[in-house]
Amino acid sequence: MGVKPHVQKTIFLVWLLLVPAGMWFTYQAYPPQFSGNWLKLLAFLVLTVLVAAMPIMINHTPIFLIQWVALATFLTFGLFIELVISQIAVVALFIKIRLPKEQLFRLPFNLMMFFIVSFVSGAAYYGLGGQTAPSLSTDTKALWLAVFYAVLYYFVNQIIVSFNFYYIYKRKEAFFGKDFFVETLTTVITLPIGIVLYILFKQVGLLAILFVGLPFVSVSLIFQLYYSSQKINHYLQDAAEIGHQMAERLRVDDVINLFIQKLGEMLPVDYAYIFEKVGDELKLSRRIESGEGTYMEMPPLKKGDGICGLVWDKQEALIFSAKKDWQQKTKGYLPDDTEAILCVPIIRNKKVIGILLLASRTKRAYEKYQLTIVDILCSYFAVAMENAKHYERTKNQSERCALTNLYNYRYFEELLHKEFERLTRFEHRMLSLIILDIDHFKTINDTYGHQSGNEILRDIANRISKLVATRGTVARYGGEEFVVLLPDISKEEASQIAEQIRQSIANWPFILYQALDQEQKKIQVKVTVSIGVATAPEDAEDSLALVRHADRALYIGAKQAGRNRVAEYTSH
């Protein structure tokens, strides 16, 4: 959860009022014990900056282990010097983690936090009689005071961190969580290192930095590399799991939605674009903004056009840290507030079938190892999309009439059974069925040919589908018969829809382009239909009865009454 702007402004204001004045007060109240040996001071400063530049990232929160260096610096040079070096260390940390603009308030907040921690701990140490440059190896009281300083430093730091999480960020995590455990463990481990560094520094001077500081920095570097490898392994495991999940999806939309959702969970994604290669162009097939799909009409891209065209041309992924790196290459797809970009080709059988572009409003949002992870995910995505498209084609062929593209008899039977079950569970109030049959269709075929008859069937299917729209399901029931299933539509409303269908067919002649005559002239043919309507539970107690009664209305009430009319089922 982000920090509100007025809170950020308050943080900047408090830092401005507190830290400069506090530093001046500290200089006056606890003047530095500095003999003028700038080389020693510089050595401690360099060591502190090195340690600060190697934080441990836990839950995206940097934890840097400068407590031991701060302890040795405090004991050697006094409170004021320790304050100055700690402030520099905080700046070095945020330079290392590349703090984005929207989080700049964290810099004054942490400067203020470390000032308070150091000042409270140092003031308490001096208040209990502690001295600068004590002899810890011979004075037991001085040693315990140094330990007291370090323990108090830790507890004050924890109090301020807790305030930060609960009142600034409004987080709800438990206090005794992973962060607390790591902070406590590192404090316990590093406390003796700080004391050893101070004692050794008093005895051998700058060599102590080499004997204690450099090994610690080396271990921190090794730990960072280990943590990075663990993080990459975690990403790879997630990628494999996402690949399995995508493979289980049987619909193209489900595959795309899962792909985008998981990418958003793994990476900072504000905008996502999926392009599909169609012929010699890239066409935008999906655009996601802040997790929501949005419609966007954009011109297609050619090979070499824009960032996606370049990725297509080179068949290599591209990563940009900031807007200045890519703004001359874009073709207008990206919003103005975009900064970092990660663009990856979607490849199947060594051919580019699409392009994925991820964008973030934050600079340097993506790292190179993430590019590799996304590349792997795109490979899984390509396979899952191919499987889903194949499944949908096969399913469509099994459920659809090849001539009219309406649902077929098999699909209608299953749907009718499901909808009737919902009716019996009171999920529907009623269920209406329309059955229509083309009048004298055999005569049409005999007169104009079966090809022309097929044209009429396709045209009738289109007219019915447009009139029914989303109110129900249209299917081809037989040779020249069509059905319309209408959930939660009364018999009266169904009859009105049926009458609209009848009029749309009877009042607008059909144009035939493939007549039997040799000249292939356009021919206008008038066609009529007879329609029967029945509604459950009013007219039927089961699905078979609903079909039977609608069919009875069609033949007795419409066909035998003269055709070209709508008839409702009646039990009389």
d(CA 138, CA 144): 12
Distances (CA, A) of 373 to 138, 317, 378: 56, 11, 9
Query: For residue 493, what is the DSSP state?
Result: H
Q: Is 491 helix (H, G, I), strand (E, B) or coil?
A: helix
- Specify whether 480 is catalytic: yes
Q: Torsions phi, psi of 340, nearest 5?
A: -85, 145
Residue whose structure tokens are 């961190």: 161
CB 34 within 8 A of CB 81: yes
Catalytic residue among 82, 183, 339, 480: 480
Q: List 473's β-bridge partners, or say none.
A: 485
Q: List 484's β-bridge partners, or say none.
A: 434, 474
Q: At what angle do helices 409-424 and 368-399 cross, to 10 degrees?
A: 100
d(CA 121, CA 114): 11
Query: For residue 407, what is the DSSP state?
Result: B
CB 409 within 8 A of CB 477: yes
Cα radius of gyration (the chain) = 38
**Neighbouring C-beta atoms of residue 429, cutoff 10 Å:** 11
Tokens of residue 448, six digits: 């104009």
Q: Is the dihedral of CA 503, 506, 508, 514 positive or negative?
A: positive
Tokens of residue 285, six digits: 């097939």
Q: Torsions phi, psi of 355, nearest 5?
A: -135, 140
Tokens of residue 95, six digits: 């330079």
Bond preceding residue 31 cis, omega within 30 of 0: no
d(CA 262, CA 343): 16
Active site residues: 480
